[in-house]
Structure 1
Amino acid sequence: MAKEQLGVLNALDVAKTQLYHFTAIVIAGMGFFTDAYDLFCISLVTKLLGRIYYTDLNQPKPGTLPPNVAAAVNGVALCGTLAGQLFFGWLGDKLGRKKVYGITLVLMVLCSVASGLSFSDHPKGVITTLCFFRFWLGFGIGGDYPLSATIMSEYANKKTRGAFIAAVFAMQGFGILGGGIVALIVSTAFDHSFKAPAYSVDRAGSLAPQADFVWRIILMVGALPAALTYYWRMKMPETARYTALVAKNAKQAASDMSKVLQVDLEAEEEKLEKITREKSNTFGLFTKQFARRHGLHLLGTTSTWFLLDIAFYSQNLFQKDIFSAIGWIPKAESMNAIHEVYRIARAQTLIAMCSTVPGYWFTVFFIDYLGRFTIQLMGFFFMTVFMFALAIPYHHWTLRPNRIAFVVIYSFTFFFANFGPNATTFVVPAEIFPARLRSTCHGISAAAGKAGAIVGAFGFLYAAQSKDPTKTDAGYPPGIGVKNSLIMLGVINFFGMVFTLLVPESKGKSLEELTGENEEEEGAEQQANSTRTVPV
């Protein structure tokens, strides 16, 4: 039997879209802009790092990062992110969303700057220092995932909640685009040798000081958007759902939301005491009751996010290798180090502008009409189709006349990742778990995703290292691992469709209705057991 909803929570559920919604989207979204910029800008400069610190002047070709070093540079921030998601997700439920929110932002700003100041007298020292600070940068980024999602879900009304949470996550697309644009501007400003025989400039050593500035500036710019939003994050009041349902302070919740909504709200302390006294509101994460109500839901959110991020981060972090393999980016020895950054950044910017960013905003516009389940299933399906379309006739795409078609199809995989599971896996865990466990469960789901990202980053790196010397003169790239990696990503996306069947539809329902927090003991059990995983 349903219990009467607290007035302050009901007011949030039915509130008309107004300025504070958009303010919350911008404040939380700028964190995600920074997250994406910091995580993906490293892919723009890894080849440059190889040319600066691993070039042997006695060899005819520019240097590259050894596989283990490249794996560390690309993957260490993801490891930090995984740890941060688990730690700050748990802490957000213990101390409150707002208190922890500021800590993550400060950590991101400091470590972004420190990453660009990675100095040493020895190349290994530079890389080691860079990896150290990028781990802690990732740790701060990790906290932003559960906190931003939870804050936005608890501020939003039930009618447009999906669009608001998705809009926060959509700032990730602008972060990826911003990284490409910054790299284009910086590389253009420092590149004075477009017409010079590229590698001869590197070998003469005249380009080394400028090249060293390029990657440092690109990494350090990531501190700016986070620093600019710190003041506004600290001014945001704690969410009413945490204050009322977890901290059990009805008076403070009513006071905070009265200011936000600009209406008079009653504290309802007696009603809150009655609600929080019910046994249905006391079970913990590691209990049989949680397993009965939300076990399959948690399995669904973790498994789909894990599978999605294997594909998504593989594509993003190593798209430069794929474009080099099909010849869209020229060979390193045909251009100087800074111009190579320019060409890689241009490719990433075009992909982000034409497919990544539009995909996110398609989700924002349609998620509360089509539903989370439909968009996620559709996204995984089309990602599977396009991956196999690239992989099976892979050598056909590497021929010069077909390269543009390859890039177009490759762009569609990004579009349907973002108009699909990359957005919905972020939205759903912020809606379907109880308030006292919401940040923790979102952190667990997100950490599963980062585990997939680590698998993708390290696995794709080594898979793409395989060589086939018989294919070097037939218009094919020397590495045949790219084809095998694309086939594997197609299979992974297919399993993403299968595990999506465990994810419930949360469209149009209040958070307490979804979690059973406004149900009596028996009613809550029935509510959880009857939640549809496949909407009719």
Structure 2
Amino acid sequence: MKWEEEGYSRYDVNEHGNPVTFEQYNQSRPLRGRLNFLTRGELKLLLIAGVGFFLDSYDLFIINLVTPVWIDEYWGGSQSRYPFFLRGCVNGAANFGNVIGQLTFGFLGDAFGRRFVYGKELILCIIGMVLVISLPNSIPTPNSKMVWILCWRIVMGIGIGGDYPMSASITSERTHLRRRGILLGFIFSNQGWGTLAGSIVTVIVLAAFQKALNVDGHEGQLDAVWRIQMGVAIIPALATLWPRLTMPEGKQFLQSQELNSKSTSSSSIEQPAKSDTVPELANGSESEDGPFARKGSMAIGTGVAPPALVSGSEVPEAKFNTFFVYFSEWRHFKTLFGTAATWFLVDVSFYGINLNQSYILSVIGFVDGKNNYHKLMKNALGNLIIAVAGYVPGYFFTIGFIEVIGRKPIQIGGFLITALLFGTLAGGYDDIGKGGKFVLFALAQFFFNFGPNATTFIVPAEVFPSRVRGFAHGLSAAVGKLGAILSAILFNWLAQYKIGLPNVLWIFFGCNILGAVITFFFIPETKGRDADVVDYEEWLEANPGAKVESRRAEGMLGGKGAAVPPGRPVEKEGIPIDSQM
């Protein structure tokens, strides 16, 4: 069929074989209940991409449950004997690796494609996990043991970090525009399941060792406890590895990459006057194909047509400078600053609480018992209750409301409510009882996840076009992890030795207020926004003389009356909508 030859799928055209307009796409009627149910393709995508965030949460936050076990095993139950700086570095080791992985894999994913990268980061994560639980008991001192764990958790963190930009980009590029926030929310909600699983595994493992630890007093069995706690995560990682390694490249990414051309042809462009609209390109010279087919780097705004608009042109891709060219414009950099800064601010408080939740439960008096076994079990149950009552439900409120009220209101509201909760805890710390503090911390976890912890992940996956999405998302996430590292290193030092827990909570209060302000001024609403269509429209604004010949090129331009980019599923009578795997 003609429309197949021009690059369209059956989802992009109407019954006459003509492209569906972007205006029709946005105004199409409801999807007959499909918004509430996952299709087979979406479920497959959820399982493949979601396991990365399950591992992310499990491996990052299991440290909160393993640390008390290490303190009992290696330092006789005395928290003060575990050097605070070493403890902070071990707590933040995976986040150190995250920063490296998010930047590296985000860049590689944009430069060489999602398929080139996807699965490789999971291999690195598996290697790190295996070597952490393979800690040799022959290492003589507790501090040296922690250094071993620190090093291999960094390696594991690099793999986990690579999953952020890759899974976010792949999900965003393979989902219906009107379901995108829901699917991204589902993917990210696996972070909640990972945290919950960590608490459940800890309770089960402690129960299995109840006789040895509680009755017989064999403290040496703690060594097996923490290795099982951390090693369980290897199972879902191995189960997902092959589907990731064999996932095909997405069509939307391939089409977006066509903007990164070094050379174009003049065959299908209505040529503007050379001196008026088309600046000379560095190291350029005229060729046989026309005065505007030049060597050098093409950038939006240069007046050179993207190859998608050129019939039969050669498309050598200039990928490596794309990010810098795109974000050299203030309107784009402003958004990048907003996504990175808000992610940093939420992670300061989010990871400050979650990496140290066991410490907080101990300080507020929740963790007590006649021996170490009872204290460890009480701590695991406290973490489990908070996960069930606040942490996990928050994600599903985001999933339920994100396509109703939008991303920006959820992010601003979450920041402000969480700030209120931290302010209440800090201001009334001496007057609020143990139960009240526990409830307020659980509510804070709820509004983190029905709020900025979820949306700071979702927005960068939607607001940037596919050709820079991986690195932009990775950079935003990496800046966020710097906030997590800051909290991991400084929280215990500030809370235990310097200013006390209430004043640390005041710092978290300020971070959340600032996050709401930056969200309001720097981040656009991404509900219903197709960043690739916007990208092409911006190209048209910069190239008013360009004219296209093919329907495929017309379809990639977007805008009112223009066709939806090929690969975007659009509802049509009698044709089901599904994710394009």
TM-score interval w.r.t. the shorter chain? 0.7 to 0.9
Determine the structure 2 residue equivalent to 1:235.
246
How far does the alpha carbon of each residue in 1:132-174 deviate from its partner, in whole angstroms, 9 at most, with x for none?
1100000000000000000000001111111111110011000
Q: CA distance change for structure 1 residues 188 and 290 in 2, over 3 Å: closer, same or farther?
A: same
Determine the structure 2 residue equivalent to 1:375.
410
Residue identity (%): 37
Displacement of 1:335 after TM fit?
1.6
Aligned equivalents of 2:130, 2:359: Cα separation in 1: 27
Aligned equivalents of 2:175, 2:120: Cα separation in 1: 23
Determine the structure 1 residue equivalent to 2:514.
495
Amino acid paired to 1:97 = R
Please give the TM-score of this superposition, normalised by the length of structure 2.
0.75
Amino acid paired to 1:128 = V
1:101 correspondence with 2:85: no
Displacement of 1:354 after TM fit?
0.9
Amino acid paired to 1:73 = V
Q: CA distance change for structure 1 residues 493 and 273 in 2, over 3 Å: closer, same or farther?
A: same
2:421 to 386, 395, 400: 386
How far does the alpha carbon of each residue in 1:432-464 deviate from its partner, in whole angstroms, 9 at most, with x for none?
212221100000000011001011111212111
Aligned equivalents of 1:86, 1:104: Cα separation in 2: 12
Displacement of 1:130 after TM fit?
0.8
Q: CA distance change for structure 1 residues 142 and 276 in 2, over 3 Å: closer, same or farther?
A: farther
CA contact (8 A) 2:172 2:184 kept: yes
Q: Which runs of 5+ in 1 are unaligned?
A: 250-268, 468-479, 528-536
Q: CA distance change for structure 1 residues 508 and 210 in 2, over 3 Å: closer, same or farther?
A: same
How far does the alpha carbon of each residue in 1:183-217 deviate from its partner, in whole angstroms, 9 at most, with x for none?
11111111226766xxxx8xxxx523211111111
How far does the alpha carbon of each residue in 1:48-86 deviate from its partner, in whole angstroms, 9 at most, with x for none?
212212239xxxx67742112211210111101111101
Amino acid paired to 1:36 = S
RMSD: 2.9
1:352 correspondence with 2:369: no
Q: CA distance change for structure 1 residues 193 and 395 in 2, over 3 Å: closer, same or farther?
A: farther
CA contact (8 A) 1:310 1:489 kept: yes
Matches of residues 37-116 of structure 1 in structure 2 within 5 Å? 37-55=58-76, 64-116=81-133
1:466 to 487, 497, 500: 497
Determine the structure 1 residue equivalent to 2:371.
335
Displacement of 1:508 after TM fit?
1.1
Amino acid paired to 1:166 = G
Amino acid paired to 1:33 = F
How far does the alpha carbon of each residue in 1:268-319 deviate from its partner, in whole angstroms, 9 at most, with x for none?
x9856469999xx997322376433301100100000000000100110111
Determine the structure 2 residue equivalent to 1:185.
204
CA contact (8 A) 1:47 1:64 kept: no
Matches of residues 149-164 of structure 1 in structure 2 within 5 Å? 149-164=168-183
Aligned equivalents of 1:166, 1:64: Cα separation in 2: 41
Q: CA distance change for structure 1 residues 489 and 215 in 2, over 3 Å: closer, same or farther?
A: same
Amino acid paired to 1:329 = V
CA contact (8 A) 2:307 2:313 kept: no
Determine the structure 2 residue equivalent to 1:506.
526
Determine the structure 1 residue equivalent to 2:264.
none
Aligned equivalents of 2:406, 2:311: Cα separation in 1: 33
How many residues end up aligned between the 2 structures? 469
Displacement of 1:113 after TM fit?
1.8
Aligned equivalents of 2:401, 2:10: Cα separation in 1: 25
Structure with the largest fraction of helix: 1
Matches of residues 112-131 of structure 1 in structure 2 within 5 Å? 112-119=129-136, 120-122=138-140, 123-131=142-150
Aligned equivalents of 1:62, 1:507: Cα separation in 2: 47
Aligned equivalents of 2:376, 2:427: Cα separation in 1: 30
CA contact (8 A) 1:109 1:224 kept: no
Displacement of 1:244 after TM fit?
2.4
1:284 to 313, 322, 326: 322
Aligned equivalents of 2:358, 2:493: Cα separation in 1: 15
Determine the structure 1 residue equivalent to 2:268.
none
Q: Which runs of 5+ in 2 are unaligned?
A: 1-5, 14-21, 261-305, 545-556, 558-581
CA contact (8 A) 1:173 1:352 kept: yes
Matches of residues 209-248 of structure 1 in structure 2 within 5 Å? 209-246=220-257
